[in-house]
């Protein structure tokens, strides 16, 4: 596994109406319900609903679950490590977005923008 595989950015539109059931999430991740329950117990993903039968998962949960699956399958990372890695990856992405919005390049210098005539 290439380190760049961990920071893959998915593009597209996630249409969320009722959310995914645990069964749908299991099929999407090609895994079993016990593994999804472990993700919930580690706060890696957060379902809506109080009982397992009524849980609904967002598109963001699907993306996190798929990333968690790859971390475990490809690198052998345990659940606590997965939670930490995904949180840190999200923080890095957030910081990159903030830096981009501030117009700072990789060297810490403000980008000069050409004035339009």
What are the pLDDT digits (tens) for 5-40?
555 555 555 555 678 999 999 999 999 999 999 999
Tokens of 71: 């971390």
**3 state SS of 96:** helix
DSSP bridge partners of 20: 57
Domains of the chain: 16-102 (1.10.1660.10)
CA distances from 50 to 40, 58, 92 (A): 12, 15, 31
Check residue 44 and give left, alpha or beta (phi > 0: left; psi -120 to 50: alpha).
alpha
Closest CA to 55 of 84, 28, 25, 81: 25
Cα–Cα distance measured from residue 27 to residue 83, given in angstroms and rounded to the nearest whole number? 21
What are the pLDDT digits (tens) for 56-115?
999 999 999 999 999 999 999 999 999 999 999 999 999 998 888 888 666 666 655 555
Cα–Cα distance measured from residue 76 to residue 22, given in angstroms and rounded to the nearest whole number? 23
Tokens of 65: 């679950």
């Amino acid at each position: 596994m290439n380190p760049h595989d961990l920071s893959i950015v998915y593009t597209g539109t996630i249409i969320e109406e009722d959310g995914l059931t645990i069964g749908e999430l299991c099929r999407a991740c090609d895994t079993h319900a016990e593994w999804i329950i472990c993700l919930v117990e580690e706060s890696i993903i957060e379902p809506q609903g109080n009982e397992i039968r009524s849980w609904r998962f967002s598109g963001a949960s699907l993306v996190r679950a798929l990333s968690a699956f790859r971390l475990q399958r490809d690198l052998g990372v345990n659940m606590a490590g997965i939670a930490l890695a995904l949180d840190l990856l999200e923080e890095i992405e957030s910081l990159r977005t903030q830096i981009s919005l501030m117009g700072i390049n990789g060297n810490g210098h403000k980008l000069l923008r050409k004035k339009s005539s």
